[in-house]
Amino acid sequence: MNGQKLPVPPLALKSLYFPSQVTLNPAEHYDAGIPIRAVEGGLQGIIPAWLIMSIGDLVEVFWGNDSAAIWSKELLNADELDKDVAFSIAKGQVHEGDATPVFYRVTRKNQTPEDSTPFQTLLVKLSRPGEYDDDPGEDGHSDLKFTLSHKEVDENLPPEGVTMRIVPYRNLTRYDRILARWGSQQRVHVVTPEQAQDPIKNPIEVVFSRALIDAAGDGDRVAVAYQPIDRCGNYPDERAPWSATHHVLVDLGGNRLDAPQVLVNGQPTDRVDLDTLGDDDVIVRVYTPTKDFAVYDEVLLTWTGTPAQGSQIIVGPLSMRVEFVPFHLDFTIPNAAVKAIAKGAASVGYVRRRSDESDRRSKNASVTVIGDISQLVAPTVVEATGGTLPSETKWATVQIPWYPGRNSSHLINLIWSAQKPGGDKVYYEDPRTVGDVADNQPVLRSVSNAEIQRFNGLNVTVYYVVTDSETGLLSVRESLPFRMQVGVALPTFKRPEVEGTGANDVLDPENVPPTGAVLVAPHLDTRDKDRVNYRWRGSASGGSTNGHVDLIPATAGRPVRITVDKKYVTANLNGTVVADYNIQRAGETLGHSHELTLRIGTALEDLLPPFLVAPAEDPIDVLAYPEGITVRIEFLEALSGDRARLVEVNPPAGSPQFPLVEFNSNKRVNTVLSPAFLAARHGQTIQLRWNLNRNNAQFGKSPILPLNVLKIADEDARLPSPKIPQAPDDKVLNLNSFDGNAQVTVLPWTGISTENIVQLKISGKDNNNSDQTLPILTNHKITATEVSSGIKETLTREQLLTLKHDTEFNVSLEVLPGTTNNLAPIAFPTLTLNLLKNPLVTLEGFETGIVGEKPVGTVMDFPSMTVTVVAARVAIGANGSSYAPPITEKFLYISPGATLRFTLKQPAKSIRFGIADGSRIPSPYKCYDENLQLIKAGSTPSYGEQKQVWVDITETPNRKIKFIDITDGGGDSYLDNFSIVH
């Protein structure tokens, strides 16, 4: 041995990475991109385990500069060795633009620091294409506009097709992907640098070729729209991810079959509202008229859904055989496949297949899907019964549920994440493609005991992220979380204390002895050879330290007093220190302490409590302040950069924090308490104070301001009453005055929020005069759409028909502002209506007519109708009682071959009339709607041995009769005694 030191081997530092980073195309000078979703809740990063990891190694992450670390950690425990190190960068520290250099540094004790190489440059994009929608109530994103070169398309369309020209949108950048859709077909255009720099001189145009338009199919309303996705995978505002839709009449084929009908709750529609749909499936109906279909034809229907982001979700082709003509076929589109395209659209069409003939295509129907986008269903861990996974489990089986549109190429990243009591993160991921897994079956992943042990004692969040780049466009969706406890939760010890600390946890350096501050770990259940690890984390550079104390019999079982060098106090002057500790026994962590946050500096003068800004006054009448009330914080001694946060003492569980806001030039911070906030606390006393934040740490807190929030009285006249638009006078609902279903609406109320739980019901008498209740909404949570637009629910005709005719019924609404405050529901003003449902019948016997012949062109006016002589000889007769009861006194006589047109003054659901013919020859008739569209045609019944019969023209669903043409069948006929049901 020559006494020389052996060379220290390099640590082989691999580049750090961020699980949510994206690969850029083209990459230019960037290593990766950071999208908006990556920084929500903090930017999660991973440092790969380095070659030789030792206790005492210091690892630091550098972001945007190479001198001041943005995050650091010292390895203190053996269970941290030879494992990746997870870290998180606060959202506020990640800014738009280039982040460079990005790297990490490892420093071993008494060794030269080593940096990861190469340094990385990341593109951070925190703005959405088009920004936020300025008019979320309208169809489509208000900033995403375009024009089309053609408003209609026919057989004369040239091969180059139709051009979409994009109007420049906010945050337009190079290499944005423009996803343009024409019906079921899609085109992608990549924005060039020249177009991004000067989109006026270099317009952004997407061409839909004739071949693409032909593939999309004909239709009366083919939907055309687009959405931009930037190179980091940011989509437009989630409330409006697509432009407004243009509808184009397309008739290239000229012989396409009629488009199918999309039905929701039995009603045809071109807008599927998910709130109305509920858990029902969508029905697509194909009519099979005799002229186009024959028995044994096969119909193949395809539903092509385009979601807010990601690959199309295709249902079909679904096959059904024609068994009757004329009739219809009903195809079922599963509810899950429809909900999966919320804020998207669908195009649906079919093909008729017949033996020995070419397939014949239909026109396409287009529908938009309205409603909130649902997250992917949470995974489950099979072995975590009751939400607890035993730490000794050999393998944990994670089930990732099937989701609509899943395919074998989707990348599913299974993630386990937990935070230790000391703030360190534990992270596990398993990114793999779906592979060969059958539809409607879950993807299974196994997690080994070695990984499970890393999470022992922690509360773990399990979720998965689906990445879909099948179309060349990046789509990333995150599932809802599954939360479980792994093993037995680690105990949490009391926080440490620092001797000499004043009120409000303020440590004045002047009161700290020259030898340093005394940090006390108060936990008493300790033994000989236990190790107490402590951390002193300052807000200033050079203000942090850590270490450990190994206990001996003399120090076990009593508070542990630790000296912290004074320089670690003074370095943090006018800043903060966060101190905590953990205890290890035989290398195993027993538990972690709560954190102590100290403010370093002189004690502040007493802060004043917050106060109400006029016109608000205590007690607070919630309904008197539809815009909310303002609470003001005032601190005349505020320094530049000081910030304040209003704090509610003991808020309801799950309540978000108020924002941290910098003082304005008047040394004030104003915070608005929204009507929803106040309504959720009505009838209660709330306590408010504020925290002073200086140098990114809490620096003081104010006394409390108590406020009394008055209870919202039941049926307060300032609350909206439910309405039924079909009863515009708010008095009578007459079922004969409208077709189809009714609606119940409630305008948005003061304090409405997505935390509101509502009960909406109808109370009345059934047909047996017994009490009847019809629930409309039960334990319904208000949606974001309803917050802005109010409640709109369907009240079916079938429900209304169960109520007794000519009786009163009540429409009542109760609202529970929230579920966490043990509040009673608020009763809104009740709507009381009288129900009329028996049909309105009008009788017409022509008694007001003038007896005599009527030449062609004569128009006779009667109380319920006009009668026009269309052809041949017609007369009004004086007495036809010989053919009673169908024909009585005055009647209409029509000669052989004569035609009369009856125009009803009020459209009818069904009609009955009498007819007599001495020759017993039936007469043909035709019925039309208000647009002179044929509803039905037929002939009067056979006379048999009689010379007079009754004719019944029965109701046609959803259509009413306005005109009837009756032509004598060959012998002269008498007409009389019309009964018209409206």
Dump pLDDT digits (tens) for 311-326: 888 998 999 999 888 8
Contacts of 348 (CB under 8 A, 6+ apart): 260, 262, 284, 301, 302, 303, 304, 333, 364, 365, 367
pLDDT surpassing 70 at residue 957: no
Average pLDDT over residues 190-210: 93
pLDDT surpassing 70 at residue 980: yes
What's the angle, vertex CA 346, arms to CA 345 and CA 352, rounded to 5? Answer: 165
Average pLDDT over residues 73-99: 86
pLDDT surpassing 70 at residue 604: no
Residue 287 token pair: 């009519």
Contacts of 138 (CB under 8 A, 6+ apart): 244
Which of residues 176 and 131 earns the better pLDDT score? 176
Domain regions of the chain by residue span: 32-124, 132-253, 255-372, 380-486, 501-600, 611-709, 732-836, 841-981
Q: Parallel, antiparallel, or unpaired for β 492-493 and 475-478? A: unpaired
What's the angle, vertex CA 44, arms to CA 471 and CA 376, rounded to 5? Answer: 45
SS (H, E, C) 892-948: EEECCCCEEEEEEEEEECEEEEEEEECCCCCCEEEEECCCCCEEEEEECCCCCCCCE
Q: Which pLDDT belongs to residue 960? A: 87
Residue 598 to residues 494, 527, 562, 661: CA-CA distances in angstroms? 15, 29, 16, 21
E strand residue ranges, 479-555: 482-486, 492-493, 497-498, 506-507, 517-521, 531-538, 545-550
**Unique residue bearing structure tokens 């190694």:** 57
Which of residues 481 and 475 earns the better pLDDT score? 481
pLDDT surpassing 50 at residue 3: no
Contacts of 291 (CB under 8 A, 6+ apart): none
pLDDT surpassing 70 at residue 955: no
- Rounded to whole angstroms, how far apart are CA atoms 383 and 386? 9
Our CA dihedral for 301, 306, 307, 309, rounded to 10 degrees, sits at 150
Our CA dihedral for 711, 715, 720, 723, rounded to 10 degrees, sits at 150
SS (H, E, C) 180-193: EEECCEEEEEECCH
pLDDT surpassing 60 at residue 8: no
Q: Which pLDDT belongs to residue 1? A: 40
Average pLDDT over residues 822-836: 91
Residue 456 token pair: 């022992």
| CATH class of segment(s) 132-253 | mainly beta
Domain 611-709: CATH architecture, name and number where available: Sandwich (2.60)
**What are the φ and ψ backbone dihedral angles of 643, each rounded to 5 degrees?**
-135, 160
CATH number of 841-981: 2.60.120.260
pTM more than 0.85: no
Over residues 885-934, the pLDDT tens digits come to 999 999 999 999 899 999 999 888 889 999 999 899 999 999 998 888 89
Over residues 854-886, the pLDDT tens digits come to 999 999 999 999 999 999 899 999 999 889 999
Q: Are 913 and 975 in contact (CB under 8 A)?
A: yes
Model confidence band, residue 473 (pLDDT cutoffs 50, 70, 90): low
Which segment of 7-11, 397-401, 526-530 scores lowest on mean pLDDT?
7-11
Q: With 0-12 CB in 10 A as exposed, 13-18 as middle and 19+ as buried, what is 755?
A: buried
% of residues, the chain, pLDDT over 70: 97
Over residues 44-77, the pLDDT tens digits come to 999 999 988 988 899 999 998 888 888 888 888 7
Amino acid at 890: K
CATH superfamily assigned to domain 732-836: Immunoglobulins (2.60.40.10)
pLDDT surpassing 60 at residue 9: no
Mark 356-365 as b/e (b = at least 16 C-beta within 10 Å): eeeebbbbbb
Element (H, E) at 29: none
pLDDT surpassing 60 at residue 10: no
% of residues, the chain, pLDDT over 90: 53
Q: Are 971 and 896 in contact (CB under 8 A)?
A: yes
- Rounded to whole angstroms, how far apart are CA atoms 723 and 750? 17
Over residues 153-173, the pLDDT tens digits come to 888 888 889 999 999 999 999
Complete DSSP assignment for 900-911? EEEEEEEEESEE
pLDDT surpassing 70 at residue 275: yes
CATH topology of domain 501-600: Immunoglobulin-like (2.60.40)
Q: Is the peptide bond before 26 cis (omega within 30 degrees of 0)?
A: yes
CATH topology of domain 380-486: Immunoglobulin-like (2.60.40)
Residue 381 token pair: 């861990």
Residue 583 to residues 82, 104, 579, 589, 750: CA-CA distances in angstroms? 21, 28, 14, 6, 52
Q: Are 122 and 32 in contact (CB under 8 A)?
A: yes
- Rounded to whole angstroms, how far apart are CA atoms 145 and 130? 10
- Rounded to whole angstroms, how far apart are CA atoms 700 and 691? 6
> Does the domain at residues 255-372 carry the CATH identifier 3.40.1440.10?
no
Domains 132-253 and 841-981 share a fold: no
What's the angle, vertex CA 237, arms to CA 264 and CA 312, rounded to 5? Answer: 50
Q: Which residues pair with 871 in a beta bridge?
A: 899
Average pLDDT over residues 517-528: 94
Q: Parallel, antiparallel, or unpaired for β 482-486 and 388-389? A: parallel
Over residues 422-455, the pLDDT tens digits come to 677 888 999 999 998 988 899 999 999 999 998 9
- Rounded to whole angstroms, how far apart are CA atoms 940 and 914? 10
